[in-house]
A and B are shown apart, each in its own frame.
Chain A
Amino acid sequence: MDAILLQILNGLDKGGAYALIALGLTVIFGTLGVVNFAHGALFMLGAFCAVAVKAFLGFEKVTLDPENLTAWGTASEIRQPYIESWFGEFGTTLLNYSVPVSILITIPVMLLIGIVMERGLIRYFYKRPHAEQILVTFGLAIVAQEIVKSAFGANPIPQPAPDAARGMIDFGVAIGFEAGNVVYPAWRLIYFLFSTAIIAAVFAFLQFTTFGMVVRAGMVDRETVGLLGIDIDRRFTIVFGMAAVVAGLAGAMYTPILSPDYHMGMDFLVLSFVVVVVGGMGSLGGAVAAGFMLGILQSFASMNEVKNILPGIDQIIIYLIAVIILLVRPRGLMGRKGQMEH
C-alpha cells in the first residue's frame, strides 16, 4: 500500500509538468487552432529564465586574501556575491530562493516572448494547413534551442532548490503510515502544489472572468464573437502569451528536479503532445487529467516489480497508452465532437 502511494506521489510532479505544458498546448489549439510544436521550447526558455536569474544574482566579487595561502602558495580567493555585499542577509536569502524568485522575472519575460511569437509568426499561420504549422513551429523550436545552447552551453546546469525545501518529507506519517516508508522530496511536493495552483488559476480565469468568457465564446465560434464587436484576435494574442507564461513557469519551477539543458524542451514536448492527444485535443480538463494520469502510470511502470514482468515497459508506457487510447477512443479521453475533425 505504501509502495503504491509512493509511486503515485512520484508521478505527481512529472504529471504536473506534463499537465501544465499540455494545458497551454490545448488552450492555444482551442483558441487559435494552431498546433504549436514550439511549446516545449517555451518550457525550456522558462527553465533558462531561472538559470539566468540565478547566474545574475550570483555575480561574485573576487578578492584576494594574502593572509591565507592555498596549497600552491598563491593568495586564496574570497568569493562573495555582490548581492550579499549589498543587501547582507536579504541578499543571501534572495540567492537561496533564486528559483522561486525567478518566477517574478519569468512571468513578464515569457509573456513578452509569447506575444512577440504570436504577433510575429504564428498569426500568419492560422489559415495554413496543420502540417505547415507543425513544421514552422518545429523550426522555431530548433532555433530557440540552438540560441540557448550557444548562450548557456550544452551541459545541464543544476539549480538548487531553496535550503528549506531541499530535504525529504516523511509524507506517510501524516496519513497514518509508519515513519520512513513514504519519504518524498519536499520540492517535488511543492512543485505538485504549484502546478495544481496554476491549473486552478487558469481554469478560474477562463470560467469566472469576462475576459475568460469571451475567450471561451471565441473557442466555440470565433466569427460570431467578432461580429459582436469584440476584437477577438487581441484576446487570443493575450491567451497565447498566457499559455507561454504557464509553460515558462512550469519550466522554471522544474529546474531543481531536472537540471535544465537545451534539449529538455523537445523531450517534454513529445510527451506533452501525447498527453494532449490522449486527453482529447481541445479539452482542457482532458489535458490536465491525462497529464497526471500518464505521469503516475510512468512512475508505476518504472517500479522494479513491474519491470521484471514486462521488461522495458517504463520506456514505452506513455506511447503505448497513447496508441491504445487513439485506437479505442479516437478523440481521446475527453475529446468532443467537432474539435480537430477536419
Chain B
Amino acid sequence: MKIFEMNKSDAILFLCFSAAILAGPILLTPIGAGYPDLLQKFAIFGIFALGFNILFGLTGYLSFGHAAFLGVGSYTAVWTFKLLSMNPIPAIILATVVGGLFAAAIGFVSLRRSGIYFSILTLAFAQMSYNLAYSVLTPITNGETGLQLAQSDPRVLDAAFGRDYGAVLPSPDFFGISMSGYPGFYFCAIMLIICFFISMRIFRSPFGLMLRAVKSNQNRMNYTGLNTRPYAQAAFVISGMFAGLAGGLMAVTDPLAGAERMQWTASGEIVLMTILGGSGTLLGPVIGAGAIKYFENIFSAFNEGILMNAFSFLPESLQHLAVGITSLFVGEGWHLTLGALFMLIVIFLPGGLMEGFNRIRNRFLKRSGDGSGGTADTVPAAAE
C-alpha cells in the first residue's frame, strides 16, 4: 500500500524508534526508569506530545488548552469501561473519537483567530471545561472525587458475552491480560508506535507541508487564494485525537479520571515537553515527554536524607548549606526546577534538545574534517 511506503532513512528511523520503545524496559533499567508505571507514563505523554507537536510544531498555533482533550478522553474511557466493556479497545477508540469531536468544536471557534488570541481562546475553553467538570457536570464527572469504576456498573458488552467479574472490582483487561504493569506498558507502547508512524506520515505528506506553510507565512498563503483554515482545523482535530487517545490510555492503565487533568498547568506541561524536545521535529516531543516525566520522578523522590548522603563528602557546615540549596529544587520543589528549565530552554535553545543534538553533531562533524557542513539536510525534520 502506498501509505506504508517510506524512504530508507525514514524506515530506519521508524524501526529504531520501535525497537527502542519496545526494548524500553531493558534500556531504561540502568537509569532507574525500568518499571512499568513510569514507562506507561513515558508512552502516554509521548503520544500526547506527538499530537501537540502536529498542531504547534507544524502550524505554529500555540494552544494553551490541550489538557482539556486529555481529560475528555479519560472521562470517555472510564465511561466506556462502566457502560460497555472492560476491554481497552472500545475505550481507546471512543476516547479518540470523542477527543477529536471535542477538538473539532473548540477548533472551529478558536481557529478564527491566530497568535495570542488563539492561545487565550483555547485557554478559555479549557478553563471552562475544567470549571464545569468540577461543578455542574458532577453527575458525569463525579466532581472532585473523580470518576471511578464500580462493581455494579452495567458493562453491557461484557454481560452480552457472558463475562462476569464476580464480587470484585473489575480492572481493564485485554482479552484476559490485565492492563497494569508490563502488559499495560506494551499496550501503550504499541499505540505510541502507531502514533509515531501516523505523525511521520503527516510530516512527510503534502498536508504536512501545507501546515508548515501556514506556520511560516499565513498571509502569503491567503494571498495565493488558499483557505488555510481547513488545514489548521484538521491539524487541531488530529492533535485533539492524539490527546484523547492519551487520556484514554491513562484511564486504561489506571481506571480513574479526575478534573485536575484538564487544568491549564497541565496544558502548560505538554507545551514544555514539546519545546524541551524540540517542536517541529519528529522525535523531539517524545524525548521531551520522556525527559520531563523521568526527571519529575527522580527529582520529586529526593528528600533530605538522600541529599545528606549525596553530600556526605563535604564538611558538615558545607553539607548543610549544599543540602539546603539543592532541596529547594528537588522533592516538593521539583516545579521550581521545571520552571527554571523551561526558561533556560526557551532562552538558550528554542529548538529544544533536538537542536542541541544537531549542533553538537554538526560541530563534531566539522572538527573531524568532514567540512561539508551539510548535515542538516540529512534530517529534513530538523528545527529551523
Contact = CB atoms under 8 A, between A and B. Distances in A.
B347 interface: yes
A55 interface: no
A138 interface: yes
Contact of A140 (B124, B339, B350): B339
Contact of A326 (B56, B62, B117): B117
Contact of A139 (B128, B131, B343): B343
Question: Is the contact region of chain B dominated by helix, strand, or loop, or is it mixed?
Answer: helix
A136 B62 CA distance: 14
B94 interface: no
A139 B114 CA distance: 22
A135 B116 contact: no
Given A270-B264, A326-B113, A139 B346 contact: yes
Contacts of B125: 319, 323
A89 B299 CA distance: 50
A274 interface: yes
From DSSP, what is the main secondary structure of chain A's interface residues? helix
A334 B135 CA distance: 33
A62 B368 CA distance: 71
B60 A131 contact: yes
A180 B274 CA distance: 56
Contacts of B347: 121, 124, 136
Interface string A300-342: 0000000000011001100110110011001000000000101
B121 A322 contact: yes
A342 B216 CA distance: 13
Interface centre among B264, B272, B332, B339 (most CB of A within 10 A): B339
B119 A146 contact: no
A326 B219 CA distance: 20
Interface in A273-302: 273-274, 277, 281
Contacts of A270: 123, 127, 264
15 contacts: A135-B342, A136-B343, A136-B346, A139-B341, A142-B268, A146-B339, A150-B336, A266-B265, A274-B120, A312-B136, A315-B132, A326-B113, A326-B117, A326-B121, A327-B109
Interface of A: 35, 121, 124, 128, 130-132, 134-136, 138-143, 145-147, 149-150, 266, 270, 273-274, 277, 281, 311-312, 315-316, 319-320, 322-323, 326-327, 330, 340, 342
Shortest 5 CB-CB distances between A and B: which pairs?
Answer: A142-B339, A312-B136, A139-B342, A146-B336, A315-B131
